[in-house]
Structure 1
Amino acid sequence: MFTILPIKGYLDKIDGFFCDGISAGLKPNGKLDLGFIYSDTLCETEAIFTLNKFQAAPLKHYQRYEKGFKTNFVLINSKNANALTGEKGIEDINTIFSSLNFDLTNPLMSSTGVIGNPLPVEKIVAGANSFDLSSKNGENLSQAIMTTDAYSKTSLYEVKLEDGSSFKIGSVAKGAGMINPNLATMLCFICTDAAVPKEDMRELLEQNSHTTFNAISVDGDTSTNDTVLLLANKKSNAYDKEAFKEALRLVMHDMAMLIVADGEGAKKAVAFEVINAADDKEAEIAAKALSNSLLVKTALFGEDPNFGRIASTIGASRVTCDETKLVISYNDVVVFNKGEIYFDAAQEEKAAKVLKNDKYKVICDLGAGEGKFTAYGCDLGYKYVEINADYRT
């Protein structure tokens, strides 16, 4: 038995972890743009990355370390993705780390921002050399890694085990646009003092990513820099696999839900729950088709319960389906039931009322089997176009 309790604060409340964020001059107007995570003991590390073929330089740099390496430092910059920068992008990372005045072991770098520009190495070195590695300022870190995010994204839990021992796990993430994951999405840094074995870290990251980060979509685009990084310094000496798996799932779910709710300009966070599909894979295909559909997203933005767009998208996904078995509901309001249209004026009013909420479910019962999957998406409105039209400026 174990108990998992959400606690207030940032990942710097976890024993042995330190963090902060500063302004290094990458963003205008003195905004925070450079941050770090430091552990006073070496951490086991695991990561899952984007499947975009053009992986950014920080991801390639990570993958050049020997298998099983440990680290004590992560440097994170915003405004510049260091992507499509070739070998020079990796050399720039090495130049930065060799210029720092700290005793670091296998340091890691993570970047987010505009693709196709070289790193401002001198600014980053100057900024990083001003770090105080004894700082505990998770709020600054969360601000420093943001790009188009409307708010910071953090999560923290304490896990109490049956033998009286306990461990903490927390995270900080950024992400609002270019969200359509393949293994991971956005940047997410998860820290724990649990004594999790190295072999469990990869397994549990991949298992939990399927129903969290891999289940969300803002705009159908997959970034070059997507990273989920797990660091474990093991200082608590406490561990239980099932407890850690559930705590990790909660942290990843928290981050995924905050990201999809912060879809650039989004006002609605919607769960697309597909049930009774032919199998789980077909349920996933249909659910993700709904979370990615621009026509569905714009209907959500207009608060229009246009179930025709829902049905059309499911049919276009080519899963096993039959309109005489299909049931579509907005929360508990049924609008289409096995070939019958439940959409008179009264029912449409009830459905429209559901769509005025910030969060709700679109439930699609395919009546074809026992498969199920829930994908998460958001609406798409004018603000998304405005943000991305002006992104580089």
Structure 2
Amino acid sequence: MEFIKDLSGGFSVIENLMVSGAREGKFGVAIIYSPNSTASAVFTSNKVVAAPVNYTKNVLKKGIISAVLVNSGNANCFTGKKGFKDCETLAELVSNDLNLPKDEIAISSTGVIGREMPIDIISKVAYESLSKLGNGPENSLAAAKAIMTTDTFPKECAIEVTLTTGETVKIAGITKGSGMIAPNMGTMLSFIVTDAVIPSDEINKALKKSADISFNMIVVDGDESTNDTCLMMANGTSNVEVVNEGKLDSNFQEALNYICIDLAKKMARDGEGATKFIEANVYGAKNETDAKLAAKSIISSNLFKSAVFGGDPNWGRIVSAIGYSGCDLNPDIVTIAIADDSDDVDLVCNGKILAFENTPNLKRAEKIMQSKNVKVNIDMHLGDGEATAWGCDLTYDYVKINAEYTT
């Protein structure tokens, strides 16, 4: 999209925003300091909800967030009243240090479920992080690293968007997540800041739209976490309003979609133990809902994910996943293809099988399945519904990582 320009430096591209990160062993703390920002968030739909999720939901009732403290290494989930009290302790710590109202400080956590927060360690690391607040690229990177758990690389993104009015604003974000990733968000934390002027209720509507086509369309393992949070803040330093006459600028929505999809794909690519990235594109579905069902079903199939790991072009697992997804499907007209960065081949075309033993199509498919990036393209020939989902292969290392997670 011509109106979106990729930038380097993560959060450093946003004025009047300071961030930091620090770690002590497996425990990390990131601070995001953006005074008097309008804000909203989307959260996990898990019925077991971590204390920081409930705490931050209460804070967001005001619609203003001035700072966020994010800790890794402990989820502060299933910790009862003490868990909520620990959130208050951390918020008070930030409030006193930055001279901010306590009810403008959000708390977010990720890590092991069911263990009390090691508040002394987290507080110590929080003070260290607060002492390092800055607006440089190194500060943004430190924050992205501080919130990592089983992630293998930090994840950040920054863009400049030219609005339909010709004015420009910037959006930047960081995220973490590589396991417990499933539709309806996963064990992911994502924090987005824009310099645009936008009311909190409009942030909420825009963020829900973006999350629905990004964070809600990735699958690593099918498990949904208790701490999932995607929080967005607008500090207004550009003095550019993106809502005019009650309507959000369409270019701003597209840019928010772009940054959320970019961060979501980075999580899928960094799935625990992953060796390959999978993209499932569904076209011609009866409607968008059916397209999403089919795309997520393909990405969620452990049989297909295992086949991708082994380089096996077993397209029967693809059509089976579509078949049980709940979408409308006519096997006699469906087209199934796979692709990588240099080739694409039909396995089934309009219901006719093209890839069977010793055929050229099967040989090409076998080669494609060895690639690091594997795309599945489905045309249902039933309507105009489209959707894309992202995920990764299922490997031996995934089992090893999660078999030894707390030991």
Task: Place the TM-score, normalised by the shorter chain, in its bin.
Answer: over 0.9
> Which residue of the partner structure matches residue 307 of structure 1?
315
Question: Among 39, 44, 49, which residue is 2:43 paired with?
Answer: 49
Query: Is the counterpart of residue 348 in structure 1 residue 359 in structure 2?
Result: no
Give the distance between the partners of 2:60 and 2:191, measured in 1 at CA. Answer: 21
**Greater Cα offset, 112-121 or 95-104:** 95-104
The one-letter amino acid of 1:128's match is A
The one-letter amino acid of 1:377's match is G
1:151-180 C-alpha deviation (Å, 9 max, x unpaired)? 010000122447664321100000000001
- Structure 1 segments unaligned to the other structure (5+ residues): none
Q: SS of the counterpart of 1:385?
A: helix
Query: Is the counterpart of residue 135 in structure 1 residue 134 in structure 2?
Result: yes
Q: SS of the counterpart of 2:210?
A: helix
Task: State the Cα distance separating 1:216 from its structure 2 match.
Answer: 0.8
Question: Among 391, 394, 406, which residue is 1:380 paired with?
Answer: 394
> Which residue of the partner structure matches residue 227 of structure 2?
225
Task: State the Cα distance separating 1:279 from its structure 2 match.
Answer: 2.0
Task: State the Cα distance separating 1:238 from its structure 2 match.
Answer: 1.3
> Which residue of the partner structure matches residue 121 of structure 2?
123
Give the distance between the partners of 2:156 and 2:222, measured in 1 at CA. Answer: 24
The one-letter amino acid of 1:155's match is C
> Which residue of the partner structure matches residue 100 of structure 2?
104
Query: Is the counterpart of residue 204 in structure 1 residue 214 in structure 2?
Result: no
Task: State the Cα distance separating 1:57 from its structure 2 match.
Answer: 0.5
RMSD, matched Cα:
1.9
Q: SS of the counterpart of 1:113?
A: strand
Give the distance between the partners of 1:51 and 1:290, measured in 2 at CA. Answer: 22
Q: SS of the counterpart of 1:129?
A: helix
Task: State the Cα distance separating 1:378 from its structure 2 match.
Answer: 1.2
Residues 184 and 239 from structure 1, CA distance in 2 versus in 1: closer, same or farther, beyond 3 angstroms?
Answer: farther
1:345-389 C-alpha deviation (Å, 9 max, x unpaired)? 221111112222222321122223332222112110111011111
Residues 18 and 60 from structure 1, CA distance in 2 versus in 1: closer, same or farther, beyond 3 angstroms?
Answer: same
Calculate percent identity across the aligned residue pairs. 39
> Which residue of the partner structure matches residue 146 of structure 1?
148
> Which residue of the partner structure matches residue 280 of structure 2?
272
Give the distance between the partners of 2:155 and 2:216, measured in 1 at CA. Answer: 17
Task: State the Cα distance separating 1:83 from its structure 2 match.
Answer: 0.6
Task: State the Cα distance separating 1:64 from its structure 2 match.
Answer: 2.1
Question: Among 349, 365, 382, which residue is 1:368 paired with?
Answer: 382
1:114-150 C-alpha deviation (Å, 9 max, x unpaired)? 0001111112222222322642311111111000001
Task: State the Cα distance separating 1:339 from its structure 2 match.
Answer: 3.6
Give the distance between the partners of 1:226 and 1:306, measured in 2 at CA. Answer: 33
Give the distance between the partners of 2:373 and 2:172, measured in 1 at CA. Answer: 25
> Which residue of the partner structure matches residue 21 of structure 1?
21
Give the distance between the partners of 1:311 and 1:4, measured in 2 at CA. Answer: 36
1:60-94 C-alpha deviation (Å, 9 max, x unpaired)? 10122362331211111111000111221011111
Q: Is the 8 A contact 2:186 2:224 kept in 1?
A: no
Q: Is the 8 A contact 2:77 2:114 kept in 1?
A: yes
In the superposition, the TM-score normalised over structure 2's length comes to: 0.90
Question: Among 259, 282, 295, which residue is 1:251 paired with?
Answer: 259
Task: State the Cα distance separating 1:185 from its structure 2 match.
Answer: 5.6
